[in-house]
């Protein structure tokens, strides 16, 4: 590769490169370690809170059937949440109306989220030796902008067509930055990279390898064989054929298209130190195509007369976003829907492996400048490696081990994720996208939009994904369906 | 000349604030007027109603955000 505009080695990156995930060295703890330590600390607190409130009579070696019926709620359940859905009046997102017509305001989840994030952010800033008072002054305004983004994403049309909060958080930030400009005092809390890395470490707790075998070999083949093939082929196509100037943009688009949309884009962008505008572009592309595919694919499955399980596996393996897969799968009936969501879930788990492999590939080959002749030592690879990925993997390994050890562990992890990590992770990503918007000039996005290459890359990669996934789904869930006794299993659930 | 120099930053500031209000007005119009109307179109209303009835979280970014009980690996029957 010898494109003049290709990403230069990290050591010679210009200051203007503004990567989404790398930051200059500061006197305090490095941002990656801050995210890893703090993320793991949050996880320990969350698991401990869930453990101390375990229901009477629950034991580590309790039978699976008994564990499944346990009502296990963390004491902080209901204290962390986001604004709800609304149609005509945005205020409805902040209140709940019962069937009897009683209105209750939902302040508790927002106050809880604000308080927790304020403490977490202040700790992170203290670890990094950044100004905590400046953070405390700026954070309430940033949180308000994130809340506004969530309210925009909660409008029923927006929500039910999978136009996720990331898009609106970006828009909110972009509007401010490109009109009146981001106020100086707000800079005190604008730290998109930190929020992304922290959110990713928390996401690790949801990447449970025990879920991998949920559909046995057929699920693994659709989600774990086709996906890497598509990811690598699309990346190579982008480099060799389209000659996309930025390797990181190519990688982020390839990953978000082949793995699982926005979450994969965030993880890969952090692993390959992509620029913030590259992440924004990949997210925008993914969400636009997801809406179209969510509407079109169930109709295509029905028009082709495919078996619901084949169609479900096809949809699960191709549509980027998890929520959109669920919505599209619904049109195929219970079997198709169950297959679609399970395949997507297995693909979700791939996010950890993808982030790790991309981080290793980037530090070993791309940042050294010349992939073929690189002789980078282990210490140099370690120096460049994004350390927060280790926090992500540690969270995933610990939670996967607890999850796999017993039925008690499965319910424990569920209670912790449901009450704490899931909500905090969402807020952290939302804050990150507001920050990216606040830090981005429209003009930085224009060159990417003008060339049209990212769109061509996405369309070509997705076409390959659609063809290969259809073939594998047909083989595993059609031809070999009886061999794997899948019909019996899906119906039995 | 002096008048021009003094007036220019003010005019710039005015333009910037006007752009912000313009954007906010546009977003408010779309969210408060256009989207609620779209929500009432029969095809869209049906889709929304179906998603709400089935409790499908269409905006889920990860499987843990779904109101869905994933199958466990142990339950899968290998022939």
Which tens digits make up the pLDDT trace of A249-275?
999 999 999 998 899 999 999 999 999
Q: Is residue A99 part of a domain?
A: yes
Q: With contact defined as beta carbons under 8 Å apart, do A429 and A199 qualify? A: yes
Domain presence at residue A363 = yes
Which two three-digit tokens encode residue B50?
A: 């179906």
DSSP A405-423: H-HHHHHHHHHHIIIIIHH
Residue A67 has pLDDT above 90, yes or no: no
Q: Which of residues 30-69 of B touch A (CB under 8 A)?
A: 31-32, 35-36, 38-39, 44, 47-48, 50-52, 54, 56-66, 68
> Under an 8 A CB cutoff, do A262 and B61 touch?
yes
Q: Is the pLDDT of residue B35 over 90?
A: yes
Question: What is the reported pLDDT for A187?
Answer: 93
Tell me what pLDDT residue A84 has: 93
Provide the 3-class DSSP secondary structure of residue A15: helix
Q: Is residue A55 part of a domain?
A: yes
H-assigned helices in A63-177? 64-68, 107-127, 132-153, 156-160, 165-177
CB distance A256 to A282 below 8 Å: yes
Measured between alpha carbons, how far is A317 from A78 in angstroms, rounded to an integer?
A: 33
Q: Which residue has the tokens 């106020």?
A: A183
> Taking CB atoms and an 8 Å cutoff, what residues of chain A touch B23?
175, 179
Interface touch A160/B66, C-beta < 8 Å: no
State percent of chain A over pLDDT 90.
64
Q: What integer best gives the mean pLDDT of chain B?
A: 83
User: Mean pLDDT, to the nearest integer, of A348-375?
Assistant: 81
Return the structure tokens found at A350.
């791939």
- Rounded to a whole number of angstroms, the CA Rg of chain B reads 25
Nearest of A450, A235, A211 to residue A341 by alpha carbon? A211
- Whether the CB-CB separation of A59 and A84 falls below 8 Å is answered with no
Lowest mean pLDDT among A160-164, A321-325, A391-395, A481-485: A481-485
Q: From the list A212, A323, A326, which residue is nearest B73 (CB)?
A: A212
| pLDDT at residue A443 is higher than 60 | yes
Q: For residue B11, give how far its alpha carbon lies from the nearest alpha carbon of chain A (Å).
A: 12
Tell me the two tokens of residue A274: 């992509």
Domain-wise residue ranges, chain B: 23-68
CA-based nearest distance B51→chain A, Å = 7
Mean pLDDT of A150-167: 94
The yes-or-no verdict on residue B5 having pLDDT over 80 is no
In this prediction, residue A63 has a pLDDT band, given cuts at 50, 70 and 90, of confident
Per the CB < 8 A criterion, the answer to whether A307 and A477 are in contact is yes
Is A322 within 8 Å of B65 when comparing Cβ atoms?
Answer: yes
Is the pLDDT score of A224 beyond 90?
A: no
Per-residue pLDDT band for A397 (boundaries 50, 70, 90) equals: very high
Q: Which residues of B touch A341 (CB under 8 A)?
A: 63, 66, 68, 70
Residue A374 pLDDT grade (very low, low, confident, very high; cuts 50, 70, 90): low
- pLDDT > 70: percent of chain B: 81
Residue A358 has pLDDT above 90, yes or no: yes
Least confident of A46-50, A308-312, A481-485: A481-485
pLDDT of A420 reads: 94
Element of type H or E holding A344: helix A333-361
Q: Is residue A262 a part of any domain in this protein?
A: yes
Residue A482: inside a domain? yes
Name the residue among A120, A37, A128 with its Cα closest to residue A80.
A120
Return d(Cα A294, Cα B72) in angstroms, integer.
Answer: 26
Give percent above pLDDT 70 in chain A. 91
Residue scoring higher pLDDT (A46 or A447):
A46
With contacts defined as CB-CB under 8 Å, which chain B residues touch A206? 62-64
- HSE toward the beta carbon, residue A148, CA cutoff 13 A: 20
Quote the pLDDT of residue A486. 66
- Band (pLDDT 50/70/90 cuts) for residue B18 is very high
Could you tell me which residue, A20 or A170, shows the higher pLDDT? Answer: A170
pLDDT for residue A378: 80
Cα separation of A469 and A102, whole Å? 48
Residue scoring higher pLDDT (A22 or B67): B67
CA A284 – CA B62 distance, rounded (Å): 17
User: Å from A372 to nearest chain B CA?
Assistant: 36
Partner residue opposite A216 with nearest CB, options B20, B57, B76: B76
Q: Would you say A170 and A280 are in contact if contact means Cβ atoms under 8 Å apart?
A: yes
Band of residue A407 on the pLDDT scale cut at 50, 70, 90: confident
A256 neighbors A264 (Cβ within 8 angstroms): yes
A3 assigned to some structural domain: no
In the predicted model, what is the mean pLDDT of residues A452-480? 94
Q: What is the reported pLDDT for A230? A: 95
Residue A10: inside a domain, yes or no?
no
Q: What is the dihedral of CA A430, A413, A114, A267, to 10 degrees?
A: -20
Which chain A residues are Cβ-neighbours of B47 within 8 angstroms?
160-161
pLDDT at A83: 95
- Say what the pLDDT of residue A220 is: 86
pLDDT recorded at residue A9? 36
What is the Cα–Cα distance from A242 to A263, expressed in whole angstroms? 25
Length of chain A: 493
**What is the mean pLDDT of the segment spanning A197-206?**
95
- Read off the pLDDT of each residue in A314-320 and give the average, rounded to a whole number: 94
Burial (CB < 10 A; 0-12, 13-18, 19+), residue A420, is buried
Q: Quick check: A404 and A34 in contact, CB under 8 A?
A: no
Range list of H helices, A53-92: 64-68
From B50, B63, B79, residue closest to A344, measured CB to CB: B63
Please state the rounded mean pLDDT for residues A66-90.
Answer: 89
Task: Indicate the range of A69-83, A186-200, A312-326 predicted with least confidence.
Answer: A69-83
Contact A159 B68 (CB under 8 A): no
pLDDT, position A265 = 94
State how far residue B3 is from chain A, nearest Cα, in angstroms.
23
Comparing A3-12, A428-437, B12-21, the range with the smallest average pLDDT is: A3-12
Q: What is the pLDDT of residues B48-60, one digit of tens each?
A: 999 999 889 999 9
Are the C-beta atoms of B56 and A326 separated by less than 8 Å? yes
Mean pLDDT for all residues in chain A: 88
Q: Which of A459, A469, A474, A477 is nearest to A225 (CA)?
A: A469
Give which of A444, A449, A425 is closest to A195, Cα–Cα: A425
Q: Is it the case that residue A379 has pLDDT exceeding 90? A: no
Check A160 against B47: CB less than 8 A apart.
Answer: yes
Residue A14 lies in a domain: no
Model confidence pLDDT, tens digit, residues A83-95: 999 999 999 999 9
Domain holding A188, by residue range, is: 25-492
A97 — contact with chain B (CB < 8 Å)? no
| A309-334 mean pLDDT | 92
Supply angle C-alpha B7, B10, B12, rounded to 5. Answer: 110
* Number of domains chain A is built from: 1
Does position A7 have pLDDT exceeding 50, yes or no?
A: no
Give A438's Cβ-side CA count (13 Å radius).
24
Strand partners, A13: none
Cβ within 8 Å, pair B57-A326: yes
Checking if the pLDDT of A369 tops 70, the result is no
What's the complex ipTM?
0.86
Distance of alpha carbon B25 from alpha carbon B27, whole angstroms: 6
Neighbour count for residue A131 (Cβ, 10 Å): 13
In the predicted model, is pLDDT for residue A371 greater than 80?
Answer: no
The per-residue pLDDT for A376 is 67
Please, which residues 398-427 of chain A have a Cβ atom closer than 8 Å to chain B? Answer: 410, 417-418, 422, 426
DSSP state of A95: E
How confident is the model over A94-125, as pLDDT tens digits?
998 887 878 889 899 999 999 999 999 999 99
Say if residue A135's pLDDT is above 50.
yes
């Amino acid at each position: 590769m010898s494109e003049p505009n290709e990403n230069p080695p990290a050591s010679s990156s210009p200051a203007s490169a503004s990567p989404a995930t790398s930051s200059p060295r500061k006197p305090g703890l490095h941002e990656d370690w801050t995210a890893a330590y703090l993320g793991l600390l949050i996880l320990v607190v969350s698991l401990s809170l869930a453990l101390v409130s375990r229901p009477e009579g629950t034991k580590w070696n309790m039978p699976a059937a008994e564990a499944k019926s346990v009502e296990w709620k963390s004491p902080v359940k209901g204290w962390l949440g986001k604004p709800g859905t609304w149609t005509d009046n945005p205020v409805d997102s902040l209140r709940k109306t019962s069937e009897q017509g009683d209105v209750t305001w939902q302040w508790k989840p927002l106050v809880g989220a604000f308080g927790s994030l304020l403490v977490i952010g202040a700790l992170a800033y203290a670890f990094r030796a950044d100004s905590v008072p400046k953070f405390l002054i700026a954070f309430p305004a940033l949180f308000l902008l994130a809340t506004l983004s969530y309210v925009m994403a909660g409008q029923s049309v927006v929500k039910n067509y999978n136009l996720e909060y990331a898009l609106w958080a970006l828009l909110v930030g972009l509007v401010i930055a490109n009109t009146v400009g981001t106020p100086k005092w707000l800079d005190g809390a604008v730290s998109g990279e930190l929020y992304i890395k922290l959110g990713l470490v928390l996401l690790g707790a949801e990447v449970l390898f025990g879920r991998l075998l949920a559909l046995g070999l057929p699920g693994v083949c659709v989600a774990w064989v086709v996906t890497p093939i598509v990811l690598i082929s699309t990346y190579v196509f982008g480099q060799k054929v389209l000659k996309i100037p930025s390797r990181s943009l190519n990688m982020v688009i390839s990953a978000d298209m082949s793995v699982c949309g926005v979450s994969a884009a965030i993880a890969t962008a952090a692993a390959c130190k992509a620029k913030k505008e590259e992440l924004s572009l990949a997210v925008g592309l993914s969400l636009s195509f997801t809406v179209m595919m969510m509407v079109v694919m169930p109709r295509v499955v029905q028009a082709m007369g495919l078996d619901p399980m084949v169609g479900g596996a096809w949809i699960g393996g191709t549509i980027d976003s998890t929520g959109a897969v669920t919505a599209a799968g619904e049109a195929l009936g219970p079997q198709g829907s169950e297959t679609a969501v399970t395949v997507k879930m297995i693909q979700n788990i791939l996010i950890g492996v993808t982030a790790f492999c991309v981080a290793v590939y980037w530090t070993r080959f791309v940042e050294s400048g010349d992939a073929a002749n690189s002789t980078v030592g282990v210490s140099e690879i370690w120096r460049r490696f994004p350390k927060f990925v280790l926090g992500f993997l540690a969270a995933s390994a610990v939670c996967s081990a607890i999850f796999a050890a017993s039925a008690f562990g499965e319910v424990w992890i569920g209670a912790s994720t449901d009450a704490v990590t899931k909500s905090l992770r969402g807020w952290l990503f939302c804050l990150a996208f507001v920050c990216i918007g606040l830090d981005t000039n429209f003009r930085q996005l224009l060159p990417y939009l003008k060339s049209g290459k990212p769109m061509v890359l996405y369309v070509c990669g997705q076409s390959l994904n659609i063809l290969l996934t259809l073939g594998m789904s047909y083989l595993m869930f059609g031809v070999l369906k009886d061999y794997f006794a899948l019909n019996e299993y899906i119906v039995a659930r | 000349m002096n008048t021009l120099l003094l007036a220019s930053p003010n005019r710039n500031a005015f333009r910037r604030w006007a752009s912000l209000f313009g954007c906010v007005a546009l977003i408010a119009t779309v969210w408060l007027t256009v989207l609620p109307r779209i929500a009432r179109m029969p095809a869209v209303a049906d889709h929304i109603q179906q998603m709400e009835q089935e409790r499908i979280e269409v905006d889920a970014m990860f499987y843990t955000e779904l109101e869905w009980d994933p199958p466990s690996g142990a339950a899968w029957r290998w022939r």
